[in-house]
Each structure stands twice: as structure tokens, then as C-alpha cells.
Amino acid sequence: MEQDSLTLHGDGISATVVGQGAELVSLRGADGTEFLWQAGPEWRRHSPVLFPIVGRLKGDQLHHQGQTYPMTQHGFARDKPFAWAQREPGACTLVLTDDADTRAHYPFAFRLAVTYTLDRRQLDVTFDITNTGDELLPASIGAHPAFNWPLLQDLAKTDCRLTFADDEPAPIRRLKDGLLLKTPQPTPVEGKTLALSERLFDEDAVIMDQPASTSVRYGAERRPALEMSWQGFRELGIWSKPGGAPFLCIEPWHGIASPVDFDGDFVDKPGLMLIAPAAKRVLSYQIRLL
């Protein structure tokens, strides 16, 4: 049986990926500092791949052409074994394709490839979604990496902040029971800076559905810190589990939870990519260690 994990090595960085969910489970700097949350009891995941939905559907049900399919929050990719398509010292690609099980939840043909590549102190992650069927492919995809918060144990959580590349004046969105509330809320970002505190997540995730930036720095004044950048994604989620969990998720998304009042067919849900037969969409993000 092929080994189900692989540790990639680059210049000043290493990353471990597992076949289950094509999930990143470790990201270390040259000195061995672990940046990624290690799936403690507060949340048993590290960096799940969200596909073919981001967030929750109303009633956890997908409606398509008069049929109803069960679909749990964030989709099934994070719980499916991927096939290893490439295993190199500094890069790997894992692939998920539709099968009888996926079609019982999501009646569409697809190929999802996730590629991890290490460069100098940087991890590049690419999502490649191909419509292998003969009808329109409605899909969302999102990244969900969880970083240690604080990054070093001798720091306080409130020492850490997010600093965006651009000012972020647009209102944010919030959730109720996993569904998107209708009324936007004023942003907690002041200029380019989001001060971090546990109370920020009392009402679940901070959802930026109109981010001006395509990169953000996470950390305290002193290093270590990291910068995330992204291409092809439209929304950004920021989340920690309410109640003081020691991780912070920075989540580029193309897609969003169903609005609380949306009861229509899945293909009409706001925020989806609609991929034509034989076409593909490629989205990517980077984590650079500072």
C-alpha cells in the first residue's frame, strides 16, 4: 500500500501532506517552529479542503432538477481519500474524482487536483477543478488552514494581528446556525489592521465578501510571522472556535454559505463557480514564512 503521507522539503521550510482529504498537516520553518495547528481536542482538523461547497446549505440539502441530495457543511472532499498523482521531494499532487459515493451527495462529474509546491520559505497550493461531465458544474472551493494562535507560546493572543495589503472598509457578513445573515455588519478592520481577540469570534466567523486585498500578514511585531496571498478566490473567512481555541484560520474562498432565506436549486445559489463541460478553474494560495 502506498504511504499515505509525504513530507516535502524546501529552502527554509517543510510541509507534510496526507492522502486523506489531501490535507496539509504540518508546516515548519528552518528552526523547526510549527506554524500549523496540530488538531487538538478543540478542533480535529489542520487545513481541510472545502469542496464542492463552502459553508452550509440550508437543511444540509442540495436541490438539483427536482431531486434532493444530503450535503454536510463544507462538502465531502475533506473526508475522502485522494489518489497520489505526483510525489517529489519538493512537490506533490493529489486527485479526487467523482464516484458512486460522491454522486449520492453531488450529482456531477468532476476532477479535483490539489498540488503542493515548496519554494524558498513559501508553500504554494493550487486547486485545479475540471468539469469532466456534459452539463454545467456548479461548485465552490475554499482553503481552511489553521495556524497556531499565538504563533509562539510566550506571546499573548492579543499580541497578534492581521495586517492586510490594502485598507478594508467594506462591511462583513456573519452567520446564524451556519447560514448567511442578510444584513451586513461594520467591519472590525481598522484601516489595514484587524486586532485579534477571542471575543471577535463570539458570533462565528468574520466573513469578508468584498475584500480589497489579496494578501495578509499574520503575527506579532516580532517574528515568526507569515503572509498569505491568494489568486482566484473572492471571499475571505477568518475563524477561531468560540471559547478560546488556540488556533486562527485564514480562509480564501470562492463560495459562501447559503443565505438564510435561500431555498432554490443549487445551481442558483449565490457565490458558485459555473464551469462549462471540459473547462477548468484554477485557484491558488501561498503561505510565506517571514
Whether 235 and 271 have beta carbons less than 8 Å apart is answered as yes
pLDDT, averaged across the chain: 96
Q: What is the pLDDT of residue 153?
A: 87
Residue 19 has pLDDT above 70, yes or no: yes
110-158 pLDDT per residue, tens: 999 999 999 999 999 999 999 999 999 999 999 999 999 999 888 999 9
For residues 186-203, give the mean pLDDT: 97
Give the CA distances from residue 279 to residues 40, 110, 128, in Å, rounded to whole numbers and listed in that order.
39, 10, 11
Q: Tens of pLDDT along 78-99?
A: 999 999 999 999 999 999 999 9
pLDDT at 223: 85
36: its cell numbers = 500549523
Percentage of the chain lying above the pLDDT 70 cut = 99
- Strand arrangement, sheet containing 5-10: 5-10, 13-18, 23-29
Decide if pLDDT at 183 tops 80. Answer: yes
pLDDT of residue 1: 38
State yes or no: pLDDT of 2 exceeds 90: no
- pLDDT of 31 above 60: yes
According to DSSP, the β-strands at 235-239 and 247-254 are antiparallel
How do residues 216-252 score in pLDDT, each as one tens digit? 999 998 889 999 999 999 999 999 999 999 999 999 9
- The percent of residues in the chain predicted with pLDDT above 90, rounded, is 96
- For residues 95-111, one letter each, b for 16 or more C-beta atoms within 10 angstroms of the residue's C-beta and e for the rest, the string is bbebeeebeeebbbbbe
Report how far residue 118's alpha carbon sits from residue 9's, in angstroms, rounded to the nearest whole number.
7
This prediction has a pTM of 0.96
Asked whether the predicted pLDDT for residue 159 surpasses 80, the reply is yes
In whole angstroms, how far apart are CA 55 and each of 15, 72, 152? 26, 9, 30
Kindly state the helix (H) or strand (E) to which residue 139 belongs, with its residue range.
strand 137-139
Residue 59 has pLDDT above 90, yes or no: yes
Give 67: exposed, middle or buried? Use CB within 10 Å, 0-12, 13-18, 19+: exposed
